[in-house]
Each structure stands twice: as structure tokens, then as C-alpha cells.
Structure 1
Amino acid sequence: MKDERHALQAVRELALRFRCAGDSASRLVGILSLPPLPGSRGVLIVTGGPQYRAGSHRQFVLLARFLAARGMAVLRFDYRGMGDSEGAPRDYREVEPDIAGALAQFFDAVPALREVVLWGLCDGATAAACHAPRDTRVCGLILLNPWVRSPAGLARATLRHYYLPRLMQADFWRKLAGGGVHMQDSLASLRQVAADSQSETRDTAAPAPMLFEALRCFRGKVLLILSGDDLGAREWTTLQQREPAWRELGASRTWREEHIDGANHTFSSASARAQVERLCADWIAA
């Protein structure tokens, strides 16, 4: 414990201002966490929206300091239009130049760097994965509850993980017997969810097709971390169970999948956050 506190105290943090790739009018802001002797492998934290570089409950701040105390340089930054960065806001499908600009600054600021791991949560994970195949310096991806949302996918996950378990709960039947359940509204909702679950989309700009193609092309290693109590994580699991191509992708020897029971979408409890930090540090070091 004393050694951990000493290592954390030795971490330096520097504020950086740099240009977005391909957008000379916009400057981005990031915070670089540096150990006394940075190693050759660093971590770029790609935020999910709408968030800025601190993250929910300071998640990205704490993670960056934890990893830096273990010898890894870490950069977290704001997309254009978020936090202190300039420019107009945009969604995860339009942040390729932002990630490229952050990586350029990261390698300039830390001469020891030779490769990076991209770390992302939710649509930040999807954005990170979509960038990874385009940059040979990216050796790994850490994806937390990746964003694969579609109307059909959401409906399937809701049916599997909400409606079916609800029918097994005694309090549901007690409410039904006592008139606490509005059957007409509930049945209408169930019919709509069931209909949505049968719909299919061929939109290649939707998150799931984009993410699948990027991960299929990526040659590095992948750590997937899923929350035990998050609908987005259940959408991913339902997609894997339904689609053979996704199952094959996840079965690769370059992939590792971890589940954190009881964790919500942002791993906000101290216990869940600590598990994420340890998993990430051990996986990156290995």
C-alpha cells in the first residue's frame, strides 16, 4: 500500500493543447499523466459521449493516474465541441480526426512511446475500435460495454433480459392480482417490443456493422469488459448469441472477455472501478 501511494505521488500531469487532424481551426485539450520513466506502451482514453475528459464520477481521471503509477503514459482528451476543446460537437462516427490528432500529440509529447492501447467506454469504445485498423501503432483495444445499439437489438435484449425475467418474479404476479399492472398498456408495449425485435437493418453506418468490420480487420489484441447490470452490455451479449460471425470474432485467441457482476454502465461503484483498473493494468502489462 505504501509503495502504491508513493508511485501515485510520483505521477505528473500536464495540460496539452493541440490541433485536430485535418481541422486547423479547432484546437483540442487533453491531460497527459506521466510516470517518472514512461514505458514504450501508452494508453489513449477515448471518451464516450456526451462526456469530457474527466469521465463520469471522475472515472477517466482515476484510471489514468492508476495506470500511470504503473509506468504507463496515459492521455485523455476532449473531442471537438466537448469540454474545453474548440469546434462544433459531433457524434462517435465523426471523431476520427480527433483521435488522430490526440495520437499525434501523444507520440510527440512522450518520445519513449512505440505503441498504444486505445481504451473506450460505450460509443467511445466503438469509435476507438473503428480507428484502430487504420493505425499500425495501435497494438490493443480495451472496450467497455461497446455501443451496438439498433432498434431490433435493443428490443431483443429487452425481451430476453427484462420481460422474460419479469414473468418469473413473484412481485409481478402480486401486482397483477392486485390491479397494479395496467394490462392494456403493458401488452401494447410488449407487442411493440416483440415487433421491433423482428425488424432488421441494413444500415452500414449503424454501430454494429461498423464495429464488426473494424474488429474483423484489427490485428491487435482486444480486452472486452462487460457490466453485469447494463442494457448496453446485454445488447452486445444478445448480438453475440444471435450472430455466428460475432461469436467467431469473440472466440479468437487474441480476445479476452471479462464480466463484472453488478456493475452499472460506467462501473461507478468503488469495487467495480477497482476491478476495471486492475484488469486493464494487468492486461496491458502482459
Structure 2
Amino acid sequence: MKESVLSFACEGQPLVGILAEPDGTPAEVGVLIIVGGPQYRAGSHRQFTLMARHLAANGFAALRFDYRSMGDSPGETRDFLAVDADIKSAIDALLAARPTLKRVALWGLCDAASAALLYLESTGDTRVAGVALLNPWVRSAASLAQTHVKHYYWQRLRQKEFWLKLLKGGVGAKALRGLGSNLQLACGAGKASDSRSFQDRMAAGLRGFAGPSLLVLSGDDYTAREFSGCAASAPAWAGLLERPTLALHELPTADHTFSASSDHDAQCRICLEWLRTRCLATNP
């Protein structure tokens, strides 16, 4: 494989990307690695660099880039809610730089996965061949409280030591107030949802996308658990994870960024297999 700098513009601002590609002709579907903030194109423990190189070594061109205000790309500070133009410019640049590519698969971790779905919802870009989502970000105060109640407080309430501490005064008033506040917020999760909240827009983006999608969830990650809770309870997400176009994989030992080499390698294999069997197979 080989790497090169790919510079391009987005609404008058220069963006910087690194294109990894095989020595020979790449597959007809390229991969755009969207970086979640606040970080740059290398990613935590170089995960995006390693991912792009793995894909390139196996025949796929992969572009990772800094959207405006991140890494080496200048511009006003922005987050995942405001990067549609950056994603479009990166797709434009990748397809223009390598004309043998026909379409592009979007790959994103955390709020970059959210950004990918928001991009699909707002643009309906037909050049997108597939979307790979790893631990998507759907956090709100209510969803975080619901996750804490289900995965922390519920376990604590079943422990004998907790009740012994409570009877002996070992559980402070602050901890009890925290439980009460989380229960109150959790009870409101999924109710009176704003139809244009970013979580609902993400669901709309996935629902309106007819191509293949990949969802990878880590077992040791609150963000993944929040997403699962949202997808199971929010009306906008009803039935989406059961669609035949979606491939769901769960990695029980993985943390949020797949920092263990075994988990990183596992998600790389899953993504590569999905690209080969689902994205290339459906590429017109």
C-alpha cells in the first residue's frame, strides 16, 4: 500500500487528508473515515491510521481527513452537527482524485458515526455505497441517566454490601440524591422527544438509506449502551436494527475506541468483510 497527502477545499477553507491505497487498482468503492471530535485524523492510539492502512493493504482506498477547525485544517470551531459540507467536500475530493472509484462508504466512530447519519439525512447523497457505524453517539441527559440506572445503580442495588452500608450510614446523602436524580431523568427518557432532535435525525438518515449498513457495538462502553437503549425505546428507531440491510456485530470485551489490539483487529476484519460482501455486491 501507499499513502499520499490529499488537500482540498471546503467553502473556501483548505482541508488536509491522508489517502491510503493499494499499489494496484483499488476496489470500486472507497472508504471515507470521518473523524469524531475533538481529535484529528490519526485517532486515539492511531486507530484511524491503522484502519486506513489495513483497508489499503486489502484493496480499498481509504481517506481520513481533518474537518474544519481540527488538526491541520483551519476554520471556526465546529462539532459533528455542522460537518455536512466537510463530508461532501471529502467525498468530492476522493472521487475526483481517483476516478476509478464509483462510490464511497462512510465509516465513523462515536459522534463521527452520528455525523455520517446526519449527512445522509440532510443530503441523501447517492454516491454513498454504505455506512459503517461504531458506537454511535446519541447522548442526552435522559439517555445518560437511563444508562447509569440500568448498568450501574441496578447492579449496586442488588449487592448486599450496598444495603449494609446504607443501614450503617456508609452511603452518603449525596449518593442517594444522585440515584434519585438519575431515576427522575431516566423516567423521562424517550418521552416527548423533539422530532427534529439530532437523535431522531440520525434515525431518519438510516431509515431513508437503502444501502448496506454496519453497526459495531462495544461491550465495555457506556456510549454503546446508551445507543442500544435509545434504539430500543425511542419511536424514531423502531425496527431499524432489525432491517435486513443492517449487519450488527457486538464485541463483548471492546472499549469505546477498541484500544486492545485484539478488539481493533476484530473490528477491522468485520469492516473489511462487510465492504467485500455487502458494499461491493450492491455497487451499481
**Same fold? TM cut 0.5:** yes
Q: C-alpha distance in 1, partners of 2:165/2:59?
A: 55
Distance 1:190 1:168 in 2: 14
- The yes-or-no answer on 1:185 pairing with 2:171 is no
Report the equivalent of 1:3. none
Partner of 2:275, secondary structure, is helix
Tell me which of 26, 30, 52 is aligned to 1:42.
30
- Counterpart position of 1:274: 265
Question: What amino acid is aligned across from residue 174 of structure 2 in structure 1?
Answer: D
Seen in structure 2, the aligned counterparts of structure 1 residues 165 and 80 have a Cα distance that, compared at 3 Å, is same
Q: How far apart, in 2, do the equivalents of 1:179 and 1:63 lie?
A: 50
Deviation digits for residues 221-278 of structure 1, max 9, x if unmatched?
Answer: 1100001011111111112222355241111100111111121111111111011100
Q: 2:198 aligns with which of 188, 204, 207?
A: 207
Once residues 268 and 171 of structure 1 are traced to their aligned partners in structure 2, the CA distance between those partners, rounded to angstroms, is 32
- 1:167 is displaced (CA, Å) by 2.2
Distance (whole Å) between structure 2 residues aligned to residue 148 and residue 201 of structure 1 = 16
Shift of 1:41: 0.7
Question: Which deviates more, 131-140 or 217-226?
Answer: 131-140
Mapped pair 1:285 → 2:244: no
Structure 1 segments, 4+ long, off by >4 Å, are 173-180
Residue of structure 2 equivalent to 1:161:
151
Residue 230, structure 1, aligned to residue 221, structure 2: yes
Structure 2 residue 40 is matched with structure 1 residue 52 = yes
1:126–1:147 CA contact under 8 A, matched in 2: yes
1:196 maps to 185
- The one-letter amino acid of 2:220's match is D
C-alpha distance in 2 between matches for 1:233 and 1:205: 22
SS at match of 2:239: helix
Contact 1:16 1:31 in 2 (8 A): yes
Which ranges of structure 2 fall in alignment gaps of 5 or more residues?
278-284
Q: Does 1:252 align with 2:243?
A: yes
Q: How many residues align?
A: 272
Deviation at 1:177, TM superposition (A): 6.3
Question: Structure 1 206/244 Cα, relative in aligned 2: closer, same or farther at 3 Å?
Answer: closer
Identity across the alignment (%): 46
Q: How does 1:115-134 map to 2 (within 5 A)?
A: 115-132=103-120, 134=124
In the alignment, what sits opposite 1:73?
A: 61
**Residues 149 and 207, structure 1, Cα contact 8 Å, conserved in 2:** no
Query: What secondary structure is seen at the aligned counterpart in 2 of 1:155?
Result: helix
Instruction: Tell me if structure 1 keeps the 8 A contact 2:118–2:198.
Output: no
Looking at structure 1, the residues matched to 165 and 95 of structure 2 have their Cα atoms a distance apart, in angstroms, of 59
Counterparts in 2 of 1:90 and 1:201: CA distance versus 1, 3 Å: farther
2:4 is matched with which residue? 14
How far residue 56 of structure 1 moved from its aligned partner, in angstroms, is 0.5
Amino acid at match of 2:156: R
Report if aligned partners of 1:147, 1:207 keep a CA contact under 8 Å in 2: no
Mean Cα deviation higher: 147-156 or 225-234: 147-156
Partner of 2:133: 143
Judging changes above 3 Å, is the alpha-carbon distance between structure 1 residues 32 and 201 closer, same or farther for their aligned structure 2 residues? farther
Contact 2:200–2:236, Cα closer than 8 Å, also in 1: no
Q: Structure 1 148/175 Cα, relative in aligned 2: closer, same or farther at 3 Å?
A: same
Partner of 1:6: none
Question: Distance in 2 between the 1:166 and 1:39 partners?
Answer: 50
Distance 1:224 1:67, change over 3 A: same
Give the counterpart letter for 1:190 in structure 2. Answer: L
Q: Secondary structure at the match of 1:148?
A: coil
* 1:53 Cα deviation after fit: 0.3
C-alpha separation between the residues in 2 aligned to 1:113 and 1:90? 29
Q: Paired residue for 2:90?
A: 102
Cα distance in structure 2, aligned partners of 1:226 and 1:113: 29
AA of the residue aligned to 2:106: L
